[in-house]
Structure 1
């Protein structure tokens, strides 16, 4: 109780300081701009040239120490921290007394000479300090500390201030996303934009968010994927397209799942799933190289080598390797169901041998896929948009890429047979009738598009957030999304 009272008193004192400033015509919030001539890290990296120069920099006060006529203060700008050496003689008595009322968290502009202290610290000998914004809150580390992950995610702006390593993660994220675009642009891909509001939730097996358009008086869906629109563009004559942006899935939340997340999908005419494998391993390696300077990373104590080429393994072979079950020897859906039950899997009725193969793989194989691995040839039942393998029509020319046991990419040779595609959609509708809310909807316009003619095409989707987690050694997807989805405080 006394701690809470003390905090309230501290907050009140800050407001009183602001009022005093305003009453003396020094309202910091009336400042519109400040001309910055230098940044902290630039000064430190070029100290030989900068020493003795007069500079103006701005930032947030992170610490103050000193007594009487001399004060040392650290300010934090967009690059890092810089020490200010502030003397009464330099500022004048009136300005120095006002300066001493400034609080940790306040934003100031400082003008002064670059020098090196006797202890060897690069600093600014302040000649003028201007309060640019008054902080009316207490930075968490000053009071409780910012250790609670829930508070860090809710108040990311404070997290970025007091935990510099968090900011570095998002700098790495930006570099990696820039690398994706760079890689594709240099290879002739065109970046496009497709609708986020859809009348049909298609392109993936997932539960959508539903909203309502008042003027049209129809329900609409936030996109779960942009696949079907991008393939329409291939039909229209674009040979290489991609889109990177937010997807939305109304599903569970975990350390690997956020309801809105960033993904990239790309499509290339006259290419197949083997081409997509090459692009996948090269693009992830390129992201690592550009963001970290290496393709060998350490994730939570595990050494992972992203250097191409990656291992390739069919789903059937993976199941055989890690469980001993050979699905080529299983002759019926019933036999597959019985074997799965003996392995301890609880499965709903109506599943086929292909569905059960996928369930066994997910339960018993994914946990072994730490090093980058392509799992290929998924059953046709779980791949409604992928082309059948010509040698075995029960499987598709599809792959998922796994790193650290996570799926980070999904790709295939695109199904371009409109008759087969309609049949797959009808099978999906049956699955919806049996209770599978993630089964895909029938999209008549998309069927019309591929009836016009979709060339042989390779398509690929990569989960950007999961790759960023690997590159930044982050244990939760929330650590790499600036503002992750959170339950409102009042409803917790």
Structure 2
């Protein structure tokens, strides 16, 4: 038996073998004498049998009673096998091993494939081992790949192009989030890790690109929980000469497309609810949603003082920077409505105070032409008609700066470069952002974002435990 070969040429894999030969009987396979070369991790040693697991699945290996190869191998070692496809006396499709090559020795014990990890947090700390013993966890990332590939295909068919934008940026803008800061030694200056791709993509609109998007990693210096990870993946899409309503339609169309092309189903179990992505999705204004779920009608609230009295009545605590009617409305929505939006629901008409990059509605300057999509009580998408007036944008940035002075650490930077770009003229446009990780959570029925990120961030392990 050769040790640690640099290369092994495969002619097949476990999935192809099952697909091509499952229909044949033991006698038919004996007559065919089909020879294959396969490679993978050897698992579940037993007597004269073992399993070989590759990326596509698992196939049984059958060893001769005279073979010494199996006894010499550690469970978990990676091997290459040349053998003949056969069926055992019990009818199990197998590969009868004729030649075996050790490609990589497993020198650490592998936990039981049946019992797995006793500590769920340890699974995420030791992802390679998690994927070795939990095939269903690995399947999440095959589906993730298919979803992202089909998102690109969907947009390409509509003539969008993908353009990569910087991760290191001079201003942390485009969203409300606390950024990570890093330092460039040669330039002797600090940079931020981007908190959104919005601003550079909108600069591209100024530059004459009309249908653009980017799928990329975003970094936000925030807490870690079942729905948040400090680095995550989003897609942002922008189309010139369109608006928020068009982006709502596009979001609905995209999600329905994914159910048809990738998932082959329209209903999912998510957060203990059965969720249907059948079109059309429900659409409600934020004030209508609050009235429906909390029985409070903000259309009848007169002034900030009356709104603040409501917060006291309902024991809603507001920060100093939240003392506007818009912030009060959003606080009631987040407290009493969000978690109740189980079936896909577009919430539109956001307060302008919490939408600094969105256009106002023509009929009401206090309302932003903005929407968010909620499914299973969780936000999945955010979009709006993009603000393209540099004077109004400057005014919004100034208002945001005042909030920062009152203690809001998540306020974006005052982005002078973006204002200068807007002064060249940006066409009216619709913009859309979707959280890819949450989308995969929905499609795979996962309740934790850690399950859909290959290497999630974790708290420091207590070495004393």
1:458 is aligned, of 417, 427, 430, to 430
Q: Are residues 1:86 and 2:63 paired?
A: yes
- Which range moved further: 280-289 or 392-401? 280-289
TM alignment of 1:422-437, pairs within 5 A: 422-437=394-409
Match of 2:17 in 1: 43
Does the 8 Å CA contact 1:375/1:399 hold for their aligned counterparts?
A: yes
Q: 1:312 to 1:296 in 2, by over 3 A?
A: same
Q: 1:206 to 1:188 in 2, by over 3 A?
A: same
Match of 1:486 in 2: 458
Does the 8 Å CA contact 2:74/2:107 hold for their aligned counterparts?
A: no
Shift of 1:329: 1.5
Q: Are residues 1:109 and 2:84 paired?
A: no
Shift of 1:114: 0.5
Match of 1:399 in 2: 371
Q: Give me the whole-angstrom Cα distance separating, in 1, the residues matched to 2:383 and 2:113.
A: 49
Q: 1:417 to 1:146 in 2, by over 3 A?
A: same
Match of 1:409 in 2: 381
Count of residues in correspondence between the two structures: 456
Q: Are residues 1:74 and 2:44 paired?
A: no
User: Structure 1: which 4+ aligned runs deviate by more than 6 Å?
Assistant: none
Match of 2:128 in 1: 157
Does the 8 Å CA contact 1:388/1:397 hold for their aligned counterparts?
A: yes
Match of 1:59 in 2: 40
Q: TM-score, normalised by structure 2?
A: 0.95
- Uncovered stretches (5+) of structure 1, i.e. residues with no partner: 1-25, 90-95
DSSP-derived class of the 1:100 partner = helix
Q: Give me the whole-angstrom Cα distance separating, in 2, the residues matched to 1:35 and 1:326.
A: 69
Q: Are residues 1:243 and 2:209 paired?
A: no
Q: Are residues 1:345 and 2:334 paired?
A: no
Shift of 1:144: 7.6
Q: Give me the whole-angstrom Cα distance separating, in 2, the residues matched to 1:244 and 1:349.
A: 35
2:143 is aligned, of 159, 169, 172, to 172
Q: 1:333 to 1:229 in 2, by over 3 A?
A: same
Q: Are residues 1:28 and 2:3 paired?
A: yes
Shift of 1:152: 0.8
Q: TM-score, normalised by structure 1?
A: 0.90
TM alignment of 1:128-167, pairs within 5 A: 128-141=99-112, 145-167=116-138
- Uncovered stretches (5+) of structure 2, i.e. residues with no partner: none
Match of 1:355 in 2: 327
Q: Are residues 1:384 and 2:356 paired?
A: yes
- RMSD of aligned Cα (Å): 1.6
Q: 1:143 to 1:237 in 2, by over 3 A?
A: closer
Match of 1:232 in 2: 203
Does the 8 Å CA contact 1:284/1:467 hold for their aligned counterparts?
A: no
Q: Give me the whole-angstrom Cα distance separating, in 1, the residues matched to 2:87 and 2:223.
A: 54
Shift of 1:285: 2.0
Match of 2:164 in 1: 193
TM alignment of 1:330-341, pairs within 5 A: 330-341=301-312
Shift of 1:491: 6.7
Q: Are residues 1:125 and 2:96 paired?
A: yes
DSSP-derived class of the 1:44 partner = helix
Q: Identify, as 1 or 2, the structure richer in helix.
A: 1
Q: 1:240 to 1:161 in 2, by over 3 A?
A: same
Q: Give me the whole-angstrom Cα distance separating, in 2, the residues matched to 1:395 and 1:168.
A: 43
* CA distances 1:275-307 after superposition (whole Å, capped 9, x unpaired): 000111111222233331112222244211112
Q: 1:326 to 1:255 in 2, by over 3 A?
A: same
Match of 2:180 in 1: 209
* CA distances 1:360-386 after superposition (whole Å, capped 9, x unpaired): 100001111000000001001000000
Q: Give me the whole-angstrom Cα distance separating, in 2, the residues matched to 1:144 and 1:464.
A: 31
Q: Give me the whole-angstrom Cα distance separating, in 2, the residues matched to 1:300 and 1:357.
A: 26
Match of 1:12 in 2: none
Q: Give me the whole-angstrom Cα distance separating, in 2, the residues matched to 1:331 and 1:440.
A: 30
Shift of 1:215: 1.4
- Which range moved further: 438-447 or 468-477? 438-447
Does the 8 Å CA contact 1:258/1:477 hold for their aligned counterparts?
A: yes
Q: Give me the whole-angstrom Cα distance separating, in 1, the residues matched to 2:463 and 2:180.
A: 20
Does the 8 Å CA contact 1:176/1:288 hold for their aligned counterparts?
A: no
2:154 is aligned, of 168, 183, 187, to 183
